[in-house]
Amino acid sequence: MTEDIYQNLSSLGQNVEAPKTPEEAVLETVPNPHKGVQYVVRFTAPEFTSLCPVTGQPDFAHIVIDYIPAEKLVESKSLKMFLTAHRNHGAFHEDCTVSIGKRIVDATDTRWLRIAGYWYPRGGIPIDVFWQTGPAPKGVWIPDQEVSPYRGRG
């Protein structure tokens, strides 16, 4: 039975090339084994990279994704490949952060999701971007993200 669930996954357990664009990337899902339980799943990508759409220079961020799954979970390797596809993708910090969150919601139909993009300075200004689908459900422990604001050398 377990093998049947994972049989259609294209990246798990496979040597695959990273998608060239986020649009080309496929976010795969697996059944949630605890459908009736509200719990938080956290993904952290401390070395996320994308490109400035104006200069083509690399941008770096620490991305934190928290979500409460419903029927489906995000398959982590496909998420990694999706995030990697942003390395050659030009978009502003706000667009990158929010579009990643929306893609996960679209793929999984989560109960709740929040995403934070803690972007390193561009032009001397760090930009932090936060988005969530609505208020967190009551009775679910949502831990702090524990990412310090950028302090520079001070």
Q: Is residue 1 part of a domain?
A: no
Q: Is residue 47 part of a domain?
A: yes
Q: Is residue 2 part of a domain?
A: no
pLDDT, tens digit, for every residue of 16-65?
788 899 999 999 999 999 999 999 999 999 999 999 999 999 999 999 99
pLDDT at 82: 97
Backbone angles phi, psi at 95, to 5 degrees: -65, -45
Residue 66: active-site member: no
Q: Is residue 15 part of a domain?
A: no
Backbone angles phi, psi at 47, to 5 degrees: -130, 40
Q: Which of 4, 52, 96, 109 is catalytic?
A: 52
pLDDT, tens digit, for every residue of 92-119?
999 999 999 999 999 999 999 999 999 9
Spatial CA neighbour of 106 closest among 70, 136, 140: 70
Q: Is residue 10 part of a domain?
A: no
Structurally, how many domains does the chain consist of? Answer: 1
CA distance 152 to 154: 6
134: left (phi over 0), alpha (psi -120 to 50) or beta: left
Give this prediction's pTM: 0.88
pLDDT at 66: 98
Instruction: Residue 107: give its domain's CATH number.
Output: 3.30.1130.10
Residue type, 80: K
Q: Which of 4, 59, 109, 144 is catalytic?
A: 59
CA distance 59 to 52: 6
pLDDT at 9: 58
Q: Is residue 142 part of a domain?
A: no
Q: Is residue 144 part of a domain?
A: no
Q: Is residue 121 part of a domain?
A: yes
Confidence of residue 87 (pLDDT cuts 50, 70, 90): very high
Confidence of residue 1 (pLDDT cuts 50, 70, 90): very low
Residue 144: active-site member: no
Query: Which domain does 59 fall in, by range?
Result: 25-132
